[in-house]
Amino acid sequence: MTTTLNRKTLLQTLKHSAIGVTRQEVLEQSDSFCFVEGELITFSDHIMTRCDSPIPDLTAAVPVQRLLKLLDKFPDEDVTVSFKNGRLTFSAGKRARSSWLSVQNEITLPYAAVPQPTEWKKVRTGLPNLLLQAARITSSSQALPLATVVHVTSKRVEACDNARAFRAELRTGLSECFIPGASVLKLEGMELKEVSLDENWVHFKTPTHQISLCCQ
């Protein structure tokens, strides 16, 4: 398998997907980009991302930090990617300089635990901004569980860390849920277009990605 890709476009896709990974392996392959069945998937137990794979013929789990560092070193606009015998090789430039990574051929990431939404709604105007404002005052202390989440109802977005409080009225289009503030903050800078809510997950669509956040 060999293909040529625009390096900046590839990096942008990977960095958006990287919000769903962990620096250390919490779940099997939670520290990896998983290329599987034409999709690029990341999953950290609390956040999952999925999008069309930039390398659709590749099936492999690739260490996130090593891949991002490798691509950052190439100054060229385009890189050629090849995969053979468990090695993912990147080459570019007139001198065809190259670097390679060892990858896992078998995908063991338990991403199937996150249900695929069946119904989507347009994200209400103003909702992403209110979610982020609320998330910025949530606590990181697990000793105060309710202080770590953004509370969303059909008419309100609110949060309180026992020292500060935020509340805004808005017809959110969602039923009641509690979303970890740390997860909401990962959405900053993303264009949220559609949303879907089920029992344990709130799902957002951007122009390129589906992002699922664990909620209660």
Do the two domains 2-113 and 121-214 of this chain adopt the same fold?
Answer: yes
pTM, entire model: 0.93
113-158 residue pLDDT tens: 999 999 999 999 999 999 999 999 999 998 999 999 999 999 999 9
Q: What is the CA radius of gyration of the chain?
A: 19
124-135 residue pLDDT tens: 999 999 999 999
Q: Which CATH number fits domain 121-214: 3.40.630.10, 3.10.150.10, 3.30.1540.20, 3.30.565.10?
A: 3.10.150.10
The superfamily CATH assigns to domain 2-113 is DNA Polymerase III, subunit A, domain 2 (3.10.150.10)
Give pLDDT, residue 24: 80
